[in-house]
Amino acid sequence: MTVTGRIHSIETFGTVDGPGIRYVVFFQGCPLKCQYCHNRDTWDPRGGREVTVDELVNDIRQYEGFYRSSGGGVTASGGEPALQAAFVEELFRRCHREDLHTALDTSGCVGPQRIAGLLEVTDLVLLDIKHIDPAKHRELTGVSNEKTLALARRLSEMGISVWVRHVLIPGLTDDPRDLARLGEFLAGLNNLQKVEILPYHTLGAYKWEQLGLKYPLKGAEPPSPEAVAQARELLAGFDLPTA
């Protein structure tokens, strides 16, 4: 039986979700409810459109020269791609057959056991750690960070390369004590290629409004460049590859 996936959209020349130029598939469905979500229209698992792996691979082939020559590849993002682990696993297997690098952009909310097969064919994980404190993580996203941190540890044991991403939101995720806890946690891992501090932005707020929903962080401002630099410096103090 052909496994099908539900996707929100595709970006054929992505430059931020992994190394090089990338084919980025945004999957539909997400179990988190991040207050700052910039892809609010991906939450509904019944939304988007259905695709087959063949369909995606045929599309990827049109541009694969660019991906290979730039050191890029294919990224599964979302929404939460790990919710459709069987489909993404098959897609990544086919990418490996074509000699294309694979990256999984995830919040880690699906436990490591449930995505064991997918991890076998994943070259890089872009792991979003929304908050190091479990209670504050729950407040910000609706779920605890237990599975995310378990995945981070498991990836370290497996030696799979990871880029950690942390969105800096003034008043919510920028407390230096929390950042120091995050730094301590990350310093215990041995597979980090990059730790990215991403300044909060409001570019996705209009999507909430289009859906007739109130944007939960209405009025929140992006951090200043100085605050971002300070957060990066604090984490770099833990000997982390910050960016």
What are the residues binding ligand SF4 (CB under 6 A)? 30, 32-34, 37, 39, 42, 78-80, 107
Helix (H) or strand (E) holding 239, with range, is none
Rank residues 64 and 173 by Cβ distance to ligand SF4 and give the closer one.
173
Nearer Cβ to ligand SF4 (57/129): 129
Closest CB to ligand SF4 among 106 and 122? 106
Assess contact for 234 and 179: CB atoms under 8 A. Answer: yes
- Residue 140 DSSP class: H
Between 67 and 163, whose beta carbon lies closer to ligand SF4? 163
Provide, rounded to whole angstroms, the least separation between the CB of residue 229 and ligand SF4.
24
CB of 90 to ligand SF4, least distance (A): 22
Query: 197, 236 in Cβ contact below 8 A?
Result: no
Burial class (CB in 10 A: 0-12, 13-18, 19+), 144: middle
Q: How far is the CB of 62 from ligand SF4 (least distance, A)?
A: 27
DSSP 3-state of 41: helix
What is the smallest separation between the CB atom of 79 and ligand SF4, expressed in angstroms?
5
Least spacing, CB of residue 16 vs ligand SF4, in Å: 14
- Other CB atoms within a 10 A radius of the CB of residue 219 amount to 6
The CA distance from 55 to 160, in Å, is 28
Any idea what DSSP says for residue 46?
Answer: T
Instruction: Supply the minimum distance, in Å, between the C-beta of residue 178 and ligand SF4.
Output: 18
Longest dimension (CA), the chain: 53
Rounded to whole angstroms, the Cα distance separating 118 from 94 reads 12
CB of 49 to ligand SF4, least distance (A): 17
Residue closer to ligand SF4 by CB (options 94, 130) is 130
Q: Nearer to ligand SF4 by C-beta: 75 or 100? A: 75
- Contact between residue 128 and residue 165 where contact means Cβ atoms under 8 Å apart: yes
Measuring CA to CA, which residue among 56, 59, 61, 27 is closest to residue 44?
Answer: 27
Alpha-carbon dihedral of residues 20, 61, 82, 180, nearest 10 degrees? 0
Of 94 and 166, CB closest to ligand SF4: 166
